[in-house]
Amino acid sequence: MRLLRDTTEAVVVINDKNDIVLFNKGAERLWGYTQDEVLGHNVKMLVPEEIRHKHDDYINRNRETGINTIVGAPREIIFQNKDGDHITGELTLSSCKMGDDGKKYYLASIKDVMEENYRKKLLDLQNTVFQSLSTEMQIQDMCDLVCREVENFVPNTVAILVLINKEHRLHVLSGPGMPRRYAAALEHVTLSDADLMALSNDLDEAATVVWDSYKSLGVSLGLHNCWASAIKAGNGKISGIFALFSRNMNKISDWPQKIVAGCVPFCSVLIEQYEARHHISQLANHDPLTGFLNRTAIHKILKSLVGKPGDNHFAVLLLNLDRFRDINDALGHANGDDFLKGVAARIKSLCRSHYILSRVGGDEFVVILPDTRVTNAMAFAETLIGGMEAPIEIGGNFLAASISVGISMFPENGPDGESLIGHAEAAMRLAKKEACGTFRVATPDDHAAAQDRLVLGSALRESLAKGLLNLHYQPQVEAKTGALYGVEALSRWHHPHLGNIFPSRFIAVAEDTGQIEAIGAWCLEEACRQIVKWDRDGIVVPAVSVNLSAGHFRKRQLPEMISNLLTQFGIAPTRLTVEITESVMMDEIKDTMDVLHAIRALNVGLSMDDFGTGYSSLSRLTRLPLTEIKIDRSFIMNLEHDANAQAVTTAVIGIGNRLGMTVITEGVETEAQYELLESLHCDVMQGYLFAKPMAPKDLETWYRQPRKIMPAMQKAQAQKQVQKQAPSGQPKSK
């Protein structure tokens, strides 16, 4: 027995009553108890508290059955020392019968393997973390895994991994066992430069950050001790803190601090990976300029919102900055970007925390209002519009932002995110069209119009590619002689399934869907091709007028394209006239004016279409190289009875004549209209009185047939005939 007492290895002997009869010096060092404190006491005092009530049963079962399930081979155990530390040891049990009555005694030899055990567990955990990084496992799950494993290493503890972000604020990455109140308190901590310097100089200073200032709160939540270490990244920056909190009231050994220090290297890797993946996620899902969600991310969120069960209602607001192009043009793109950031900050300040914000285009934003009805959405739209009135300082300039807002509601305006965004955009454009700085709520009619644009736009694109559009031509006749002055080319579309589509319908769709320029280019080429065919068939059409959209005249390539077509088809420039709208006249951008003068320099005619229906300016009219003015049909409808219409028509004809331009009147349908216009000296007329728009073959038939001759025309023709018959040198009849 003396030999056992003096051995360095811990030895404990118990008798048949499970009382300790031997507790050597090695056992004293391992458990922290003296012999006097344990001899004669039940051995269960040396095992962890949570299994003490069952410990006697384990031993007695072996005594009774004789089955040596606990005797023989060494095994790892965890026990609790006097200070409350959980110690890991390697236990070897043996038993023998002593005395005449053969009572069974047990001898336990325990080897302290604490350091070796923790080193192995930390190495295993590190390997698990590095292997997980090569899988699809989420960083959050890896952080949770580390915290839970460390809590298993040191029972009755709580582990936490904290990130220090760019603003030096603490962000709890993981702490599955941490009381919420304590985690929330840490989330509000912002470190000073001095704090970061102290952590950089001594990593163990982390305990002052996560524990010393919150010890009272921790104790109230059952936390009594803390071991912590700052985490230093490869670039020397303090990137986080790993901490372990104990629920034991007694101060235990320094082993938990060693475990915390052992976890720091792979916690640093986890934080680095978290930041890298977060940055990638930011790039994939967020707008880099404003930090708002991008278009892809907002559609994912809309999909999840639409899929929520129950009575689900939410609003989608699409905001568009009014006249943002002017800011870019005047101040440059860098200041334009600063203005967008200022607008984004203003929008965010006006939104509640649960609103979802996105930048979906250059000057367009989306705000989603969860659990919202239309009245609240309208009220918030007014708040947004009003909140933009305060100027934003950009580059020394104070700029007031104006926004137009479109609102769509789920489920009223569509079953999916695309529909909701589309309806909100349509409503926004209507608001912008009616009055900038206002809002509009999408309606079922808007939905029907959007569906119509979608179907027609797709069909139009297909028809244009397959050559299913065609041109009809309406003659223009000289008022005095009835001679053919020219024809106007008018687009027509017959779809195999949708039937005949009115020009007023498909031209509007073409403008909305960006196809109007392609149609204009096709019209020019088709008109040139038709002129050549008519010439070959003996049909003399002096000139063909082709309508082009305002967008064409902003393209510097337009004159070159026209010149190439004239060369390709061998047509004299005077046989082609390009019609422009008054919106082009209002657009006095230098590029547009250069394009108009370049077209006229080709000797191609330029005609002002629908003159008088927009914002005509006589001063601008004199600066344009026009050859024709076309009076809109709206002035002709009541020409015989409306004195104002007569006055305007008279004035326009007079202006055109004085400026040396040919005046063409559209929509002439009655002889009375003709006679009145002829008396006002209108040069050319166009309308159903003479001919409707016709397919090329029908126009050939019309050309070869006798035409309707008005009295004034007969008089002019008679005078011309007399002049031809008068002998040379004789006075001509009057």
> pLDDT tens for residues 111-143?
877 777 777 888 888 888 888 877 878 888 889
Contact (CB, 8 A) for 268 and 232: yes
Per-residue model confidence (pLDDT) at position 716:
63
Asked if the structure places residue 733 within a domain, the reply is: no
Where does residue 169 rank: exposed (0-12), middle (13-18), buried (19+ CB within 10 A)? middle
Mean pLDDT of 208-237: 92
Whether 395 and 322 share a structural domain: yes
Per-residue model confidence (pLDDT) at position 221:
94
Whether 35 and 156 share a structural domain: no
Per-residue model confidence (pLDDT) at position 69:
57
Say how far apart CA 659 and CA 613 lie, in whole Å: 20
Q: Name the residue range of residue 338's domain.
A: 295-442
CATH of the domain at 17: 3.30.450.20
Distances (CA, A) of 50 to 80, 156, 158, 401: 10, 11, 18, 67
Asked which of 265, 285, 305 is the last residue of a domain, the reply is 285
Asked if the structure places residue 449 within a domain, the reply is: no
Radius of gyration in angstroms for the set of CA atoms belonging to the chain, rounded to a whole number:
45
Per-residue model confidence (pLDDT) at position 542:
97
- For 685, half-sphere exposure in the C-beta direction (CA atoms, 13 angstrom radius) is 29
Which residues are within 8 A (CB) of 218 and not within 5 positions of it... i.e. 6 or more apart?
182, 211, 224, 226, 245
Whether 521 and 667 share a structural domain: yes
Say how far apart CA 730 and CA 287 lie, in whole Å: 87
Per-residue model confidence (pLDDT) at position 519:
93
Whether 184 and 63 share a structural domain: no
Per-residue model confidence (pLDDT) at position 67:
63
Whether 245 and 307 share a structural domain: no
Whether 107 and 151 share a structural domain: no
Per-residue model confidence (pLDDT) at position 251:
62
Whether 66 and 127 share a structural domain: no
Query: Cα–Cα–Cα angle for 69, 71, 74, nearest 5°?
Result: 105
Asked if the structure places residue 457 within a domain, the reply is: no
Query: Residue 538: left if φ>0, alpha if ψ -120 to 50, beta else—which one?
Result: left
Query: What dihedral angle (degrees, nearest 10) is formed by the CA atoms of 421, 425, 427, 430?
Result: -170
CA 497 to the chain's CA centroid: 36
Asked if the structure places residue 493 within a domain, the reply is: yes
Per-residue model confidence (pLDDT) at position 732:
45
Whether residue 37 has pLDDT greater than 80: yes
Say how far apart CA 40 and CA 12 lie, in whole Å: 12
Asked if the structure places residue 262 within a domain, the reply is: yes
CATH of the domain at 207: 3.30.450.40
Whether residue 345 has pLDDT greater than 90: yes
Whether 642 and 608 share a structural domain: yes
Say how far apart CA 635 and CA 653 lie, in whole Å: 12
CA 416 to the chain's CA centroid: 16
Asked if the structure places residue 460 within a domain, the reply is: no
Distances (CA, A) of 112 to 30, 109, 115, 242, 490: 7, 10, 8, 27, 99
Asked if the structure places residue 454 within a domain, the reply is: no
Asked which of 258, 285, 312 is the last residue of a domain, the reply is 285
Q: Which tops the pLDDT comparison, 453 or 38?
A: 38
Contact (CB, 8 A) for 437 and 385: yes
Whether 349 and 387 share a structural domain: yes
Distances (CA, A) of 341 to 49, 295, 363: 60, 17, 11
Contact (CB, 8 A) for 489 and 546: yes
Which residue in the block uniquely carries the two structure tokens 């929330």? 184
Asked if the structure places residue 105 within a domain, the reply is: yes
CA 304 to the chain's CA centroid: 15
Mean pLDDT of 545-554: 90
Whether 123 and 107 share a structural domain: no
Contact (CB, 8 A) for 370 and 312: no
Per-residue model confidence (pLDDT) at position 734:
33
Number of compact structural domains in the chain: 4
Whether 149 and 95 share a structural domain: no
Q: Which two tokens stand for residue 456?
A: 């027609």
Which of 121, 125, 60, 41 lies closest to 86 in space, CA to CA?
Answer: 121
Whether residue 574 has pLDDT greater than 90: yes
Whether residue 66 has pLDDT greater than 60: yes
Q: Which two tokens stand for residue 634?
A: 């709206």
Q: Which two tokens stand for residue 354?
A: 């649960």
List pLDDT tens digits, range 413-429.
878 888 899 889 989 98
Q: Which tops the pLDDT comparison, 191 or 450?
A: 191
H or E segment to which residue 715 belongs: helix 711-725
Could you tell me what percentage of the chain is helix, strand and coil, using 3-state DSSP and rounding each to the nearest 5?
Answer: 50, 20, 30
CA 217 to the chain's CA centroid: 42
Q: Which two tokens stand for residue 48?
A: 């962890």
CATH of the domain at 601: 3.20.20.450
Q: Which two tokens stand for residue 570?
A: 């061998």
Q: For the chain, first and last CA: distance in Å? A: 158
Q: Which tops the pLDDT comparison, 692 or 498?
A: 692
Say how far apart CA 50 and CA 155 lie, in whole Å: 11
Whether 122 and 108 share a structural domain: no
Contact (CB, 8 A) for 364 and 320: yes
Residue 262 CB coordination number (10 Å): 21
Q: What percent of the chain has pLDDT over 90?
A: 45
Say how far apart CA 54 and CA 51 lie, in whole Å: 6
Asked which of 285, 318, 341 is the last residue of a domain, the reply is 285
Whether residue 76 has pLDDT greater than 50: yes
State the average pLDDT for the chain.
87
Per-residue model confidence (pLDDT) at position 571:
96
Q: Which two tokens stand for residue 275?
A: 């930041």
Q: 697 falls in which pLDDT band (50, 70, 90)? A: very high
CATH of the domain at 328: 3.30.70.270
